[in-house]
Amino acid sequence: MAKKMWSGRFEKATDKTVNDYNSSLPFDSRMYAQDIEGSVAHSAMLARQGIISQEDADAIREGLLSIKADIESGKLTFDSDAEDIHMFIEEELTNRIGDAGKRLHTGRSRNDQVALDQRLYLVDEALDVIELLDELIETITDMAKEHLTTYMPGYTHLQRAQPITYAHYLTAYIEMFKRDRDRIEAAASRANISPLGSGALAGTTYPLDRESVADELGMAGVTQCSLDGVADRDFAIEFASAVSILMMHLSRMSEEIILYASQEFKFYELDDAYSTGSSMMPQKKNPDVAELTRGKTGRVYGDLISLLVIMKGLPLTYNKDMQEVQESLFDVIDTIKGVLPPFTGMMKTMTIRKDNMEAAALGGFTNATDLADYLVRKGIPFRETHAISGKLVHYCIENNTTLEKLSIEQFKQFSDLIEEDVYDAISLETCVNKRTLTGGPAPDTVKRYLDNQ
Ligand code: ARG
């Protein structure tokens, strides 16, 4: 086993089990690019401040870039007993350029280094997630534009409630996903602050120029307390929480996809390329993408809870427990990046059964409220019209018919104020088209909303 950089005060080598247990290289190696980026900026600043020579800084930069190139070409692999990616790269650098490599870590600790790497990594990945989420928002916005007058039942308690349109249904998710996007963006912008210069916990006596390093790394500023800079991982928790809320929305939509694609609803037909079959039952076509999305929501919640619990009892500042933050954060990132592309593809390719949606909207007495409102306009108080409409629904159920199919004579048995104009008042089109308030289902209202996206 290679000699540890910190072995000066030790008399024995680390036990193999401890070394394996302690090592984060198997998972933190994915932050190699951010680690190198941070080290290049740090060493350039050390030279600018006269802390190391320009020649050393140049050698460090060249060495680090050659390490990056070799990792990316596969020439350099991570099969090493190094403690973490930071040690791995520093050891490799010193092997390549000698003494100059040993000057890189001046005025820096792995504590501020790892906090920086995680922040940079999170910001990079958040941009990818936002791009994937934008594709989903765009996909459902396009679908909504196609379905401004596709009527469907709106539900409460999963019971048919009032008629809406499929476009109106989709705008609910457009709104949710837009808020998710904002939350992810806000989490990334709060993460985009440099902790370098915090040292191990108490800053450093070297005259570092923290601001210029942050600038070079494209970060918006520097952390304002060295203890906080190394001790907190709230940026990871905030991101995981934003993604958890996004997953909650995706999961609700998935639940509806699963229901709507069933033979009981038949609102959706999933594309063959986005569904799966059964090894035993030849007729099956399963909504696996939606089910997995629903399942992976639990997984992301688990990561969020892990992060919260890992951090909750830690005395300031750095504690090794915090190394565990990385795997949960990475799992959140990998999961959401795995979820979004097939989910968007599934939405984009499925067939919307307009006919079945409309039949369901007609079949569920979803116009009963509008019938009550019609009688209000004839001068009867709403509480009474609610009862009249309810009795008419009951009559229809007994006689196996629907409100709009009743004859005027049948209507008049319940209220002699009902006239010919009732049919227009309770038609699906009227029920939807009259709901023109901002946020309502009327096609013009929804179109205006979509045109502003
Ligand atoms: N691999 C470590 C982590 O992820 C890096 C920081 C180590 N710092 C220390 N004081 N041992 O947390």
Of 168, 133, 138, the C-alpha closest to 150 is 168
Using CA atoms, how far apart are residues 20 and 165, in angstroms rounded to an integer? 58
Phi-psi region of 98 (alpha: psi -120 to 50; beta: other; left: phi over 0): left
| Residues pairing with 164 in the sheet | 152
- The closest-lying atom of ligand 1 relative to the alpha carbon of residue 322 is 12
Name the residue of 30, 89, 323 whose CB sits within 8 Å of the most ligand 1 atoms, as the mutation to test its pocket: 323
Q: What is the mean pLDDT of residues 435-441?
A: 96
Name the H helices within 350-407: 354-363, 368-377, 382-398
Using CA atoms, how far apart are residues 401 and 406, in angstroms rounded to an integer? 8
pTM of the predicted protein model: 0.95
| Residues pairing with 162 in the sheet | 154
* Mean pLDDT over the full length of the chain: 96
Q: What is the mean pLDDT of residues 338-367?
A: 96
- Can you give the pLDDT at residue 3? 73
- Compute the distance from residue 272 Cα to the ligand 1 centre, in Å: 48
- Compute the distance from residue 154 Cα to the ligand 1 centre, in Å: 52
**What angle in degrees, to the nearest 10, is found between the helix axes of 166-191 and 234-260?**
160
Pairing verdict, β 159-165 and 151-156: antiparallel
Residue 278's pLDDT band, with cuts at 50, 70 and 90, is: confident
Of 33, 204, 195, 206, the C-alpha closest to 113 is 195
Residue 397 scores a pLDDT above 80: yes
- Can you give the pLDDT at residue 1? 63
Residue 7's pLDDT band, with cuts at 50, 70 and 90, is: confident
pLDDT tens figures, 82-111: 999 999 999 999 999 999 999 999 999 999
CB neighbours of residue 137 within 10 Å: 19
Residue 384's pLDDT band, with cuts at 50, 70 and 90, is: very high
Residue whose CA is at the smallest distance from ligand 1 atom 2? 323
Using CA atoms, how far apart are residues 87 and 22, in angstroms rounded to an integer? 13
Of 331, 127, 310, 325, the C-alpha closest to 235 is 325
Longest CA–CA span in the chain (Å) reads: 102
Residue whose CA is at the smallest distance from ligand 1 atom 3? 323
- Can you give the pLDDT at residue 276? 87
C-alpha torsion sign, points 399, 402, 405, 407: positive
C-alpha distances out from residue 278 to 255, 285, 296, 354, 374, Å:
20, 7, 21, 27, 50
Pairing verdict, β 159-165 and 268-269: unpaired
- Compute the distance from residue 84 Cα to the ligand 1 centre, in Å: 8
- Compute the distance from residue 201 Cα to the ligand 1 centre, in Å: 12
- Can you give the pLDDT at residue 301? 98
Q: Would you say 328 and 307 are in contact if contact means Cβ atoms under 8 Å apart?
A: yes
- Compute the distance from residue 323 Cα to the ligand 1 centre, in Å: 6
CB neighbours of residue 153 within 10 Å: 22
Using CA atoms, how far apart are residues 153 and 357, in angstroms rounded to an integer? 7
Of 219, 229, 257, 252, the C-alpha closest to 353 is 257
- The closest-lying atom of ligand 1 relative to the alpha carbon of residue 83 is 1
- Compute the distance from residue 215 Cα to the ligand 1 centre, in Å: 25
Q: Would you say 341 and 373 are in contact if contact means Cβ atoms under 8 Å apart?
A: no
- Can you give the pLDDT at residue 245? 98
Using CA atoms, how far apart are residues 112 and 203, in angstroms rounded to an integer? 9
- Can you give the pLDDT at residue 56? 98
The pair of structure tokens assigned to 363 is: 């079949």
C-alpha distances out from residue 240 to 118, 133, 210, 219, Å:
13, 15, 28, 20
- Compute the distance from residue 110 Cα to the ligand 1 centre, in Å: 6
- The closest-lying atom of ligand 1 relative to the alpha carbon of residue 85 is 1
Q: Would you say 230 and 112 are in contact if contact means Cβ atoms under 8 Å apart?
A: yes
Residue whose CA is at the smallest distance from ligand 1 atom 11? 320
Of 333, 163, 172, 332, the C-alpha closest to 256 is 172
- Can you give the pLDDT at residue 13? 87
Residue whose CA is at the smallest distance from ligand 1 atom 12? 323
Q: SS3 of 406, please?
A: coil
Residue 279 scores a pLDDT above 90: no
Q: What is the mean pLDDT of residues 304-315?
A: 98
Of 47, 53, 49, 41, the C-alpha closest to 207 is 49
pLDDT tens figures, 142-186: 999 999 999 999 999 999 999 999 999 999 999 999 999 999 999
- Compute the distance from residue 104 Cα to the ligand 1 centre, in Å: 17
- The closest-lying atom of ligand 1 relative to the alpha carbon of residue 24 is 1
Name the residue of 21, 25, 111 whose CB sits within 8 Å of the most ligand 1 atoms, as the mutation to test its pocket: 111
Residue whose CA is at the smallest distance from ligand 1 atom 10? 111
Residues catalogued as catalytic? 157, 278
Name the residue of 23, 34, 110, 232 whose CB sits within 8 Å of the most ligand 1 atoms, as the mutation to test its pocket: 110
DSSP H or E segment with residue 153: strand 151-156
- Compute the distance from residue 115 Cα to the ligand 1 centre, in Å: 9
- The closest-lying atom of ligand 1 relative to the alpha carbon of residue 200 is 10
Residue 220 scores a pLDDT above 90: yes
- Enumerate residues lining ligand 1, CB below 6 A: 24, 28, 84, 110-111, 114, 318, 320, 322-323, 326
Q: SS3 of 49, please?
A: coil
- The closest-lying atom of ligand 1 relative to the alpha carbon of residue 84 is 1
